[in-house]
Structure 1
Amino acid sequence: MGKGYQRWFDISCTHSYFADQTCRPLSFIPTPDCRRLLQRYRLLFRAVPGGAEVYCNPEDPLKLLDGYAENQPFTFAIHCSDPALLSYTDIASPTQCLDVPGIYYFDNLASALIDNDKRLLHAPGSPFGTGKLPLRAPRFNVSSTDNSAAGASVSLHGQSDAVWQTDGPLPATVDLAGLDDGRYRLHIGDNSTQDFYLSADINAARQWGVAAIHIASDPNAKLGQSYQIQLARRECVWCYYLISRSLEDGPIAGTILTSDRRREIGEPAAAINFDSVQPSTTVNGLPAMMYKSRQRLPLYEVPDSDLSFSFRADAGRANPGAERSLPYARPAELAYPVLDDLLPDSPQELQANIYVYW
């Protein structure tokens, strides 16, 4: 880092699935608009695992940052190296993890304070908001299903002044060429609005998301300010399938034993219980017993640091009292339950199917 430079602000993404809480699958890269801002004010960018840092020189003789009033935010494209990220991430709404066009968007316009120097780039507990923002090129057509609607306008996110407007009938062609990439709001008639992300970059569709830091409009911004995206691990029902030819002679009664170290370190945790699901089933033509957790259990990158599971057979069969450790649920084992097993009108949620050959 250059002599005299200090951290001006940083962005980090945490994820409770990972042992060190760092979301390494996500990387932050300045957009072309952001690179021009960095060069204009002699700022330095540094990529870090799961985040980014921007450095300034408080002793700059030109005092370029004095009275900084740029409306344009520092915008970072977020790229994801793990296609399975959302499978082990808590999603408030199942529709938010569908492979639909668009990008996730984060900014500090309504950031929440989480400690003395960190601010969230989203609402607490809701990093994905209402889902992805659709991507739009600088020129696109706008229409309305309401025949009485007339007129349309586009405004920059967080501002009321229109950057494009027509009072004529719809459909119409919106031309935003020359405007900076960013989040905008489309107003159709008097009632309909839609937020979208404007980008002329043909590679924007490959991005996982965007983080925008508005310095001039953030009254809390200060030297060393930290911004954070907080992702949480997915919790789901775990289903153990114990598979054995010996089950052809009848089911083996037993119990799944659990150990939860989270209680020892003070993290709130409900008792973990599994119920035997009857009747027995088959897996790949072999008889199997199914045990299903009564509550959702979390997925961990290193689960044995917190949870352990084993099955102990009851007396009355061969090798009574035998106990065997059970593997942990992994993201690759997530699947939707068979529709026939669902009650009418039950929500369809992912569950972890863990197969164990006894």
Structure 2
Amino acid sequence: MTPLFTIQCRHDYFADGVCRALSLVPTQRSAALLARYRLLFRPLPGGGSIYYEDGASPLAQFSESAPLAFWLIGRDPALNDYTDVAAKGSTGLFYFDNLHCKPKSSSKLASGPLTAPRLSAYPPRFSLPVDPARRAARLDLLGQLSGGAPPVWQAQSPDATLSALPLDFSALDEGRYRLNVDGAHTLDFWLGKPPSNAWGVAAIYPGGLLLADSVPAAARTIDGKGEVNLKTYSIELAARSVRWRYHLIGQSGMNLADYQLLATRTTGETVHFEGAPGDTVDGRPSYCFTASDPLPLAERPGDKVSVQLASLPQARTQLSVNLAYPRMGNVGGAQGSAQNRQQFADIFVYL
């Protein structure tokens, strides 16, 4: 078997860079499509590969408008908490495809802070609430290919005033679609039923006889003659960064200002912490050291940053202690003004 393409999820939160919090599974329709062309899916940590067999897989006859789609299955409920997600608070499936890959990064479906759209998923038949109610509305459904024009489906709703429009897309392939009602954009969605633990969906348009001219040449894996251009499509996620806060909690009579935090990145740069008296904790004094700049969360933070508590010369008790690192449970809610809201990871150190 020869690889046709691979989808690989990477995340700089993990020590080895492999996003083991996600696994890849073909959708039901795509599994049938793979079988039709005698293609084999093999899972990998954080992804999977599609293979073909020379002389047996009829790639020269590959002629499909539907993508090869894969559910990204979430294995860690905290994934979004340690991922740099640009659109906080939005819901739905993260959506990725290879139709808009830039020539210089043709294999990257996403990179850096996660800006992928989030789509609600709908079955082939459903009712869409509308406000105000509509009568004999013009319905246009736009697909992902050719800029969405012309519509892949058109209809008119019943000649009655309805607050929910009945829709039937059972004749269409699964994929991402945009619905316009009377010319106004109304819904951007994924047509298909995801499993309950789906985090996202990746749609790969391979090319082939039907789509070779619609998919960027640098991003397709099958040309118009059935020739294969092996691709590795990557989803590269960034770790979320927050400001770390260390709360020193001392015994009565201790002057906590006589201590300092010494922090360095493994690359050699100093990490600056600002100290100030904190609130009393259980009747004991505290002192708070706050990182001047946000620091990334990590599976093994010690691989990136070293933090030590050290005494100043005048300290009554001399200490040199390697401090613990923040975990997801240490990250609190956003603080500050609406224009400058920040999140903090709090670590409490009892002396």
State yes or no: 1:176 paired with 2:172.
no
Cα deviations across residues 45-73 of structure 1 (Å, max 9, x unaligned)? 1000000100011333xx61104221111
Partner of 2:64: 70
Alignment of structure 1 residues 83-162 onto 2, 5 Å: 83-96=77-90, 100=91, 102-113=92-103, 119-122=107-110, 124-130=111-117, 132-145=118-131, 150-158=137-145, 159-160=148-149, 161-162=151-152
Task: Tell me the distance in 1 between the aligned counterparts of 2:130 and 2:171.
Answer: 25
Q: In the TM superposition, what is the alpha-carbon distance from 1:179 to its structure 2 partner?
A: 2.8
State yes or no: 1:234 paired with 2:240.
yes
> Secondary structure, in 3 states, of the residue corresponding to 1:95?
coil
> Secondary structure, in 3 states, of the residue corresponding to 1:121?
strand
* Preserved CA contact (<8 Å) 1:144 1:188: no
* Preserved CA contact (<8 Å) 2:263 2:307: yes
Cα deviations across residues 71-105 of structure 1 (Å, max 9, x unaligned)? 11111111111111111111113224xxx4x2111
**Per the alignment, do residues 154 and 126 of structure 1 end up closer, same or farther by CA in structure 2, a change over 3 Å counting?**
farther
One-letter identity of the residue aligned with 1:258: A
Alignment of structure 1 residues 250-329 onto 2, 5 Å: 250-263=255-268, 271-278=270-277, 280-320=278-318, 322-329=319-326
Partner of 1:266: none
**Per the alignment, do residues 333 and 312 of structure 1 end up closer, same or farther by CA in structure 2, a change over 3 Å counting?**
same
One-letter identity of the residue aligned with 2:205: H
Unaligned runs of 5+ in 1: 264-268
One-letter identity of the residue aligned with 2:80: L
The TM-score, its normalising length taken from structure 1, stands at: 0.84
* Preserved CA contact (<8 Å) 1:236 1:296: yes
One-letter identity of the residue aligned with 1:227: Y
C-alpha RMSD of matched pairs (Å): 2.4
1:80 is aligned, of 61, 74, 79, to: 74
**Per the alignment, do residues 125 and 260 of structure 1 end up closer, same or farther by CA in structure 2, a change over 3 Å counting?**
closer
Cα deviations across residues 209-232 of structure 1 (Å, max 9, x unaligned)? 111110123333233211010100
Partner of 2:225: none
Q: In the TM superposition, what is the alpha-carbon distance from 1:242 to its structure 2 partner?
A: 1.0
Task: Tell me the distance in 2 between the aligned counterparts of 1:227 and 1:40.
Answer: 23
2:31 is aligned, of 20, 32, 35, to: 35
Partner of 1:350: 343
Task: Tell me the distance in 2 between the aligned counterparts of 1:316 and 1:65.
Answer: 76
The sequence identity of aligned pairs, in percent, is 30
> Secondary structure, in 3 states, of the residue corresponding to 2:267?
helix
Unaligned runs of 5+ in 2: 222-228
> Secondary structure, in 3 states, of the residue corresponding to 1:349?
coil
Q: In the TM superposition, what is the alpha-carbon distance from 1:318 to its structure 2 partner?
A: 1.5
Partner of 1:53: 49
The TM-score, its normalising length taken from structure 2, stands at: 0.85
Q: In the TM superposition, what is the alpha-carbon distance from 1:175 to its structure 2 partner?
A: 1.3
* Preserved CA contact (<8 Å) 2:96 2:116: no
Partner of 1:8: 4
